[in-house]
């Protein structure tokens, strides 16, 4: 007996045919981890064992003389469209290690490593429920049923859910916790070590998660990445280095000048030359990997 929900049936009187279309769900795990040679280095633990540590504090000239925190996030796809999006981070400026207002719409600012995994409808819905619980406790975009549009959730008590590095309530930890709660060992752990000044402690972090994801059987894409087809060529920043024009991992936008000398940046021309290109996804958006041809040509 067929359940009619989420299935399409077409019948021609002279040539009877039945087409059954089942919904497909995927989770796409993303990491911004583009400076491993600087931020993910072997360090000695207190047990004198050498482990890779994610350095959160050392200032790198290649990173605007700041630490390289990286980022971890995920989104769920139903067929070709976004079903849920979770990018946990501090909301606004002035984030610090003791805590800050959180958001589930922290913008993606660099090339991302994306790992795809097919999941069940039941798991997709359970993941979305967990994401929505945090959205209602953070400074995130939520869908207003009365207005039929997304609005910023500013009516809640801001101290209910904080981004706090001190307790590992961070991007990778919160994302990994939700996914592993429902998908178990299908999602690699993000456990590793983080170094903050003189301190070195075990914690889930973007670079350890990235390392384990790289070793996993999950399908890997990079987005956006030049010279692939799609939006990459117009999204990626371009700088002059050693007399050559080369693309860099950061996206175009006004903030590009915060990371590179102004006279080395090769700006796009036209009205969108300094437009912010940092991105988030909302329910109903098309999967960027499909929209920009990263999957269709395979």
Q: What is the pLDDT of residue 92?
A: 67
Q: What is the pLDDT of residue 286?
A: 95
3-state secondary structure of 140: coil
Task: Please check the confidence at residue 287 and state whether its pLDDT lies above 90.
Answer: yes
Q: What is the pLDDT of residue 25?
A: 98
Q: What is the pLDDT of residue 48?
A: 62
> What pLDDT digit, counting tens, does each position of 228-278 carry?
766 778 788 888 877 778 888 888 887 788 778 888 888 887 777 778 888
Q: Report the interhelical angle of 206-215 vs 171-183 (nearest 10°).
A: 40
Prior bond of 227 cis (ω within 30°): yes
* pTM score, whole prediction: 0.86
> Is beta strand 191-196 parallel, antiparallel or unpaired with respect to 199-204?
antiparallel
> What pLDDT digit, counting tens, does each position of 183-201 carry?
999 999 999 999 877 778 8
Q: What is the pLDDT of residue 98?
A: 61
Q: Average pLDDT in the 138-154 region?
A: 85
Q: Which is more confident, 178 or 43? A: 178
Q: Which is more confident, 68 or 84? A: 84
Task: Please check the confidence at residue 68 and state whether its pLDDT lies above 80.
Answer: yes
Q: What is the pLDDT of residue 145?
A: 79
CA–CA separation, 267 and 273 (whole Å): 6
DSSP 227-257: TSSSSHHHHEEEEEETTEEEEEEEESSGGGG
Q: Which is more confident, 20 or 175? A: 175
CA–CA separation, 86 and 76 (whole Å): 9
> What pLDDT digit, counting tens, does each position of 73-112 carry?
999 999 999 999 999 998 865 556 567 889 999 999 999 9
Q: What is the pLDDT of residue 260?
A: 82
**224 in Cβ contact with 217 (< 8 Å):** no
Q: Report the interhelical angle of 171-183 vs 121-135 (nearest 10°).
A: 150
> What pLDDT digit, counting tens, does each position of 157-169 carry?
767 888 887 788 8
> For 125-129, 167-171, 180-184, 229-233, which range has the lowest pLDDT when averaged over its residues?
229-233
* Highest-pLDDT range among 107-121, 140-154, 222-236, 267-281: 107-121
**Cβ atoms within 10 Å of 260's Cβ, excluding its own:** 18
Q: Which is more confident, 19 or 209? A: 209
Q: Which is more confident, 32 or 142? A: 32
How is residue 151 written in tokens? 């609005």
Task: Identify which of 82, 45, 72 has the alpha carbon closest to the alpha carbon of residue 287.
Answer: 82
> What pLDDT digit, counting tens, does each position of 13-67 carry?
566 555 556 899 999 999 999 989 888 988 776 666 778 899 888 887 766 677 8
Residue carrying the six token digits 């999941």: 119
């Amino acid at each position: 007996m067929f359940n009619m929900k989420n299935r399409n049936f077409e019948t021609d009187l002279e040539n009877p045919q039945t087409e059954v279309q089942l919904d497909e769900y995927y989770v796409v795990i993303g990491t911004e981890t583009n400076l491993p040679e600087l931020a993910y280095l072997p360090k000695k633990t207190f047990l004198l064992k050498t482990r890779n540590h994610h350095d959160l504090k050392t200032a790198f000239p290649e990173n605007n003389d700041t630490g390289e925190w990286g980022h971890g996030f995920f989104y769920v796809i139903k067929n070709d469209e976004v079903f849920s999006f979770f990018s946990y981070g501090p909301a606004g400026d002035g984030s610090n290690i003791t805590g800050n207002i959180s958001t589930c719409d922290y913008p993606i600012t660099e090339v991302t490593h994306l790992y795809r995994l097919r999941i069940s409808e039941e798991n997709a819905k359970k993941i979305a429920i967990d994401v929505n619980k945090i959205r209602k406790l953070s400074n995130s975009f939520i869908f207003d049923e009365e207005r039929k549009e997304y609005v910023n959730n500013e009516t809640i008590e801001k101290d209910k859910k904080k981004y706090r590095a001190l307790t590992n309530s961070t991007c990778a930890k919160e994302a990994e916790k939700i996914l592993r709660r429902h998908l178990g060992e299908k999602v690699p752990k993000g456990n590793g070590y983080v170094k903050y000044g003189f301190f070195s402690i075990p914690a889930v972090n973007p670079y350890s998660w990235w390392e384990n994801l790289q070793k996993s059987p999950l399908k890997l894409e990079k987005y956006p990445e030049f010279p692939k087809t799609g939006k990459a060529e117009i999204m990626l920043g371009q700088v002059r280095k050693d007399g050559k024009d080369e693309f860099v991992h950061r996206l175009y936008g006004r903030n590009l000048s915060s990371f590179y000398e102004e006279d080395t940046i090769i700006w796009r021309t036209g009205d969108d030359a300094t437009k912010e290109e940092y991105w988030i996804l909302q329910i109903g958006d098309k999967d960027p990997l499909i929209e920009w041809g990263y999957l269709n040509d395979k």
